[in-house]
Structure 1
Amino acid sequence: MSEFKQTLNSSLGKKLIMALTGLFLCTFLIVHVGGNLLLFKNDNGFSFNVYANFLTHFPPIEVIAYLLYLSILVHALYGLILTVKNRKARPVRYAVAAKSDASWSSKNMGLLGSIMFLFIVIHMGDFWFRYHNDKNMGFKEYRTDLATGVTTDAEYKPVSADFSHSVSTENNVEIVRVKDLHARVSESFSNLIYVIFYVIAMGAVAFHLLHGFQSAFRTLGWVHRKYTPVVYFIGTWLFAVIIPLAFAAMPVYYYFLSTQGAH
Structure 2
Amino acid sequence: MKNTLNNKLIMASTGLFLCFFLVIHLLGNLQLLLPEDVAREQFNWYSHMLSGNLLIKIISWILYASLIGHAVYALIIAVKNNTANGKSYQYDKRNFASAWNSRNMGILGTILLLFLIVHFKDYWYTYKFTALPVDANGNKDLYEIVVSSFSQAWYVIIYEISFLALGFHLLHGFFSASRTLGLYHPKYAKAVKIIGWFYSIAITGGFMAIPLYIYFK
Name the TM-score, length of structure 1 as normaliser. Answer: 0.75
The equivalences for 1:4-15 within 5 A come to: 7=2, 10-15=3-8
CA contact (8 A) 2:184 2:192 kept: no
Runs of 5+ unmatched residues, structure 1: 1-5, 142-175, 258-263
Q: CA deviation at 1:91?
A: 6.0
Q: CA deviation at 1:227?
A: 2.9
The equivalences for 1:1-263 within 5 A come to: 7=2, 10-44=3-37, 45-89=40-84, 102-135=98-131, 137-141=132-136, 176-238=137-199, 240-257=200-217
Distance in 1 separating the partners of 2:188 and 2:47: 36
Which structure's relative contact order is higher, taking Cα pairs within 8 Å and 6+ residues apart? Answer: 2
Q: CA deviation at 1:88?
A: 2.3
Identity between Structure 1 and Structure 2 (%): 43
Quick check: 82-91 or 14-23, which moved more? 82-91
Distance 1:223 1:92, change over 3 A: closer
Secondary structure, counterpart of 2:151 in structure 1:
coil
Distance in 2 separating the partners of 1:80 and 1:193: 30
Q: CA deviation at 1:90?
A: 7.3
Distance in 1 separating the partners of 2:31 and 2:101: 31
CA contact (8 A) 2:134 2:140 kept: yes
CA contact (8 A) 1:41 1:47 kept: no
Q: Kindly indicate which of the two structures has a greater share of residues assigned to helix.
A: 2
Q: CA deviation at 1:194?
A: 1.3
Q: Kindly indicate which of the two structures has a greater share of residues assigned to strand.
A: 1
Q: CA deviation at 1:224?
A: 3.7
Over the aligned positions, Cα root-mean-square deviation in angstroms equals: 2.2
| Bigger radius of gyration among the two | 1
Distance in 1 separating the partners of 2:157 and 2:79: 29
Distance 1:92 1:15, change over 3 A: closer
Runs of 5+ unmatched residues, structure 2: none
Secondary structure, counterpart of 2:182 in structure 1:
coil
CA contact (8 A) 1:189 1:254 kept: yes
CA contact (8 A) 1:19 1:216 kept: yes
Name the TM-score, length of structure 2 as normaliser. Answer: 0.91
Secondary structure, counterpart of 2:135 in structure 1:
strand
Distance in 2 separating the partners of 1:52 and 1:200: 25
Distance in 1 separating the partners of 2:152 and 2:36: 22
Distance in 2 separating the partners of 1:223 and 1:27: 20
1:88 alignment partner AA: T
